[in-house]
Amino acid sequence: MPGPGAYFFGEEERKELLDVMETGYLSRYGKEDDPMFKHKVVTFEKEFAKYIGTRNAVAVNGGTGALITSLATLGIGPGDEVIVPGYTFIASISSIIYAKAIPILAEIDESLNIDPKDIRKKITKRTKAIMPVHMLGNPCDMDSIMEIAGEFGLYVVEDGCQALGATYKGKKLGSIGDIGAFSLNIHKTITTGDGGVVVTDDDNLYERAFGFHDQGHKPYRMGLEIGHRSLIGMNLRINELTGAVALAQLRKTDNIISMLRDKKRKLKNAISGNKELGFRKINDEGEIATLLTLLFKDNKTAEKFAAELGTKTLAHSGWHVYNHMEQILDKKTVTEYQCPFACERYGQEVKYYKHMLPRTDKILGRAINISVGVVDPGIGAGFGITVLSDDKEIEQVAVKINAV
């Protein structure tokens, strides 16, 4: 199981699901005056917003859907540039492409998150938004990012898909920028198999996000609302079954995170005596501890170390690295998706090519992920522990690392 939420699927999820099964109301909308209608999706949205500390949340079909909704909500479109890190899941980039906007790739720093200094360098008169991605559960340097956004009048879309529950200076991620996106896929803090959430404090943005996710309707629509729909939306809804699981999982989030933190602390302590080993920079202790990232002094040492553990450095770990995103590495492919809004139309010659972010390449070449809660070779975390590992297992993994 990739985890961590998946490890906690149990009686509570079953109970919530049965509740829905017995009523027959499967859609998020139902008869308000019928006590059989259980409002799982709406209840989940309310509890999720409260958990994150925003006024509003909209449940959608996935993290990708949440990002697409966020960009549409902000009105980001043709000709706009959005600055996004070169180390992220493809969805951060593809959501910008499907908004018909231009992803501008930025370097990461040793936190493995977007480097605020490089954001400044990438700003042009067309820049409309910054998309900080809280990679591997670690908060971005949000103070610097919000300062830049304020200075240049940019939107901030937080991609919190890998960091549900993490905090930065006491605030939950997703609540700091204009809008935040989360994923409930199988690799995430909590999971519904697939699912996502958009959060925002701004009621106008909320109304737009809700409308985008459901054919332009107003929040908590009842009836058809003909004559009241202010925008053209899509259908990215989730149903009551997903809402039921989401609700049960959400109520376990803090427990899952505190277990992750406990396991990570034990593993880190057990290998910290080794002078050869460094760690990625953690921007705030509110990180959710899904992964332990080792950072070596050079690529050669990291590669040797990874090979002996039977894993890979992040540079070779797969699809979160822009160098491996063959979908975008050929500019023609990106402009094809943007047709008829090709970059040329706006005089934007934006190219994506291998090794265009040398600092990112260097850092990823020195880094290895050890699993704590997310067990996923696709993110370079095929070796390590799980959220349920006991002290003995943690010790065994530490012994292996120390031996190498």
Ligand X SMILES: Cc1ncc(COP(=O)(O)O)c(C=O)c1O
Q: Within 13 Å of residue 394, how many CA atoms lie on the same side as its CB? A: 22
Among 4, 5, 62, 85, binds ligand X (CB under 6 A): 62
Q: Which CB sits closer to ligand X, 133 or 140?
A: 133
- Least distance between ligand X and beta carbon 185 (Å): 4
| Residue 159 lies near ligand X (rule: CB under 6 A) | yes
| Residue 161 lies near ligand X (rule: CB under 6 A) | yes
DSSP state of 254: H
- Least distance between ligand X and beta carbon 299 (Å): 24
Q: Which CB sits closer to ligand X, 42 or 161?
A: 161
Of 69-77, 159-167, 200-208, 216-224: span binding ligand X (CB under 6 A): 159-167
Exposed e or buried b for every residue in 266-298, given b needs 16+ CB within 10 A?
bbbebbeeeeebeebeebbebbbbbbbbbbbee
The answer to whether 179 touches 74, Cβ cutoff 8 Å, is yes
Interface with ligand X in residues 125-144 (CB under 6 A)? 133
Distances (CA, A) of 22 to 16, 26, 28, 79: 10, 10, 15, 50
Q: Which CB sits closer to ligand X, 60 or 397?
A: 60
- Least distance between ligand X and beta carbon 262 (Å): 24
Cα dihedral angle (86, 161, 93, 119), rounded to 10 degrees? -50
- Least distance between ligand X and beta carbon 92 (Å): 5
Among 69, 70, 113, 185, binds ligand X (CB under 6 A): 185
| Residue 92 lies near ligand X (rule: CB under 6 A) | yes
Q: Which CB sits closer to ligand X, 186 or 388?
A: 186
Q: Which CB sits closer to ligand X, 60 or 309?
A: 60
Among 4, 196, 211, 233, binds ligand X (CB under 6 A): 196
Q: Which CB sits closer to ligand X, 250 or 401?
A: 250
Which of 184, 170, 103 lies closest to 142, judged by CA?
170
Q: Please say whether the dihedral angle defined by the alpha carbons of residues 73, 78, 82 and 86, taken in this order, is positive or negative.
A: positive
Q: Which CB sits closer to ligand X, 168 or 296?
A: 168
Place of tokens 């396991």: 263
- In whole angstroms, give the CA distance from residue 399 to residue 404: 9
- Least distance between ligand X and beta carbon 131 (Å): 9
Q: Which CB sits closer to ligand X, 196 or 216?
A: 196
Write out the two tokens for 152. 């240049």
Q: Which CB sits closer to ligand X, 159 or 207?
A: 159
| Cβ contacts of 378 within 8 Å, gap of 6 or more | 317, 318, 319, 320
The answer to whether 271 touches 263, Cβ cutoff 8 Å, is no
- Least distance between ligand X and beta carbon 209 (Å): 16
Applying CB under 6 A, what is the total number of residues that bind ligand X?
Answer: 15
Site string for ligand X, 71-90 (x = CB under 6 A): -----------------xx-
Q: Phi, psi at residue 181, to the nearest 5°? A: -125, 140
- Least distance between ligand X and beta carbon 133 (Å): 5
- In whole angstroms, give the CA distance from residue 211 to residue 217: 5
| Residue 64 lies near ligand X (rule: CB under 6 A) | yes
| Residue 191 lies near ligand X (rule: CB under 6 A) | no
Q: In the bound complex, which residue of the shown chain has the CB atom lying closest to ligand X? A: 63
Helices (H), 276-390: 299-309, 326-329, 331-338, 358-365
Using CB under 6 A, list all residues that contact ligand X.
Answer: 62-64, 88-89, 91-92, 133, 159, 161-162, 183, 185, 187, 196
